[in-house]
A = this chain, B = another copy of it.
Amino acid sequence: MDRNTLSSLIWLRMARFVQRSNHLSNEFLEQYGLTAAQFDVLAQIQHNQPITQTELADKLTLTCGGISRMLTRLEKENLIIRKQQWKIKYISLTDKGSTILNEAIPAQVAFQASMFDEVLDEAEKKQLYALVKKLHKASLEKTVSPK
């Protein structure tokens, strides 16, 4: 009945902050011709290439279907290539993808960090990290119908 519990208030602010952050990242990454979702996928590929689609889906917590579609778009723009070996497709960046990412990564990491650094001091960030880490871990174990 009472919807204004502390937990509800936290949830609202957190969800809105994440939404707003994503929106700002999308705007920021426009200069590199990337969306935030594409950036995440490409950055993950760069750090793990060559990597299979299933591994990629796992690391990004997306479904295989979602990854498949995303890679089709990225392939169309010549940012990645898929090489089939055995029954598995290995993904890596093209030169174009690599070049763009080398510029985009430090910029985006700095931009993302500024969202926190401009507002919180070191102690607050450590506090916040401890809290969200706890929440995230618990959420991975939580199920809808326990038992």
In the complex the two chains form, is A132's CB within 8 Å of B17's CB?
yes
How far does the alpha carbon of A18 sit from the alpha carbon of B11 in the complex, in Å? 9
With A9-B129, A18-B15 already in contact, the answer to whether A116 and B142 are too (CB < 8 A) is: no
With A7-B112, A119-B134 already in contact, the answer to whether A28 and B126 are too (CB < 8 A) is: no
* Interface membership of chain A positions 105-118, coded 1 if the CB is closer than 8 angstroms to chain B and 0 otherwise: 11001001101111
In the complex the two chains form, is A139's CB within 8 Å of B11's CB?
no
A83 CB–B CB distance under 8 Å: no
Residue of B nearest to A132 (CB): B13
* Interface membership of chain A positions 62-78, coded 1 if the CB is closer than 8 angstroms to chain B and 0 otherwise: 00000000000000000
Residue of B nearest to A6 (CB): B125
Q: Within the complex, what minimum Cβ distance (angstroms) separates A146 from chain B?
A: 10
How far does the alpha carbon of A125 sit from the alpha carbon of B14 in the complex, in Å? 12
How far does the alpha carbon of A11 sit from the alpha carbon of B140 in the complex, in Å? 17
**A13, A28, A115, A135: residue with the most chain B Cβ atoms closer than 10 Å:** A135
**Closest 6 A-B residue pairs measured CB to CB?**
A7-B113, A7-B116, A17-B136, A13-B132, A20-B139, A27-B144
